[in-house]
Chains A and B, each alone.
Chain A
Amino acid sequence: GENVEQHPSTLSVQEGDSAVIKCTYSDSASNYFPWYKQELGKRPQLIIDIRSNVGEKKDQRIAVTLNKTAKHFSLHITETQPEDSAVYFCAAYQAGTALIFGKGTTLSVSS
C-alpha cells in the first residue's frame, strides 16, 4: 500500500522567513496530494491541494510543488506569521481509496 514520508518533523522559523516541508510517496498510482493544517486542539483542515497533472499551485503565501517522476511534493509558506504555527500534514490519494497521511511537521513561527 501507499506510504508517505514527511520531513522535517519540527521546524522553527522567524516571522517573515520562508518554511518548506517535504513529502515523498511510494505508490505511483497516487494522483491527488492535499495538505492539512491542524492547530492545537483542533481538527485538521485542508489548506491547499494539487493533482498529478499539475506541477505547481499557489494560493497567496502558500504554494505546493509536485514532482511525479521523483514521487515527492513540497509545501512552501512565504512571509511566515505567528498564526502559521501549527502541525502540517501531507497526504497522498488514489481513486477509491483513503488519504494516507505523513507523520506531520510541527511549525513554530516566532516573532
Chain B
Amino acid sequence: DAGVIQSPRHEVTEMGQEVTLRCKPISGHNSLFWYRQTMMRGLELLIYFNNNVPIDDSGMPEDRFSAKMPNASFSTLKIQPSEPRDSAVYFCASSKLAGDSNEQFFGPGTRLTVL
C-alpha cells in the first residue's frame, strides 16, 4: 500500500494567488482529514469527511478555505486568495470508520509558503 499521497510536497506562491492541495487516501479508508500545522498552533483540524461527506468544517479558518471530496480516492483543499499567514504544513490523513478506534495515517504533508 502506498499510504496517503499528497501533492505537491512543496508550494511557494505569492499573496493573492489560488492554491490547491491534493490528497489521495489509503484505499478502503472512508474517513479523510485535513490538518494544518504551525509552530504557534500545533496540529489544527480543518475539516473531515466520512464517506465523502463533509462532517465538520468548523476548523476552516475563513471563507478563503474550501475543501471537496468528489469521490472516495481524492480530496482537495483550496485557498483563494492566499495570504502570508496561511504559510504552514498541511497534512491529509485517512482512516477506517470504526467503533472504538480511529488510527489515522498521515500523508507526507504539503509545505506551503505564501510570500
Is the pair A95, B100 in contact by a Cβ cutoff of 8 Å? yes
Number of interface residues of B (CB under 8 A): 24
B97 within 8 A of A: yes
- Main secondary structure, interface of A, reads loop
- Docked CA distance A9–B25 (Å): 31
A68 within 8 A of B: no
Number of interface residues of A (CB under 8 A): 23
A78 within 8 A of B: no
Is the pair B101, A100 in contact by a Cβ cutoff of 8 Å? no
Binds A, one of B13-21, B67-75, B80-88, B104-112: B104-112
A43 within 8 A of B: yes
Is the pair B103, A98 in contact by a Cβ cutoff of 8 Å? no
Is the pair A89, B43 in contact by a Cβ cutoff of 8 Å? yes
Q: Of all chain B residues, which has the CB nearest A46?
A: B103
Is the pair A43, B108 in contact by a Cβ cutoff of 8 Å? yes
Is the pair A100, B42 in contact by a Cβ cutoff of 8 Å? no
- Docked CA distance A42–B106 (Å): 10
Q: Of all chain B residues, which has the CB nearest A9?
A: B42
Is the pair A51, B100 in contact by a Cβ cutoff of 8 Å? yes
Is the pair B91, A44 in contact by a Cβ cutoff of 8 Å? yes
Q: Of all chain B residues, which has the CB nearest A6?
A: B42
Interface residues of chain B, those whose CB is within 8 Å of chain A, are 31, 33, 41-43, 45, 48, 50, 55-56, 58, 91, 97-104, 106-109
Interface residues of chain A, those whose CB is within 8 Å of chain B, are 1, 31-32, 34, 42-46, 49, 51, 89, 93, 95-104
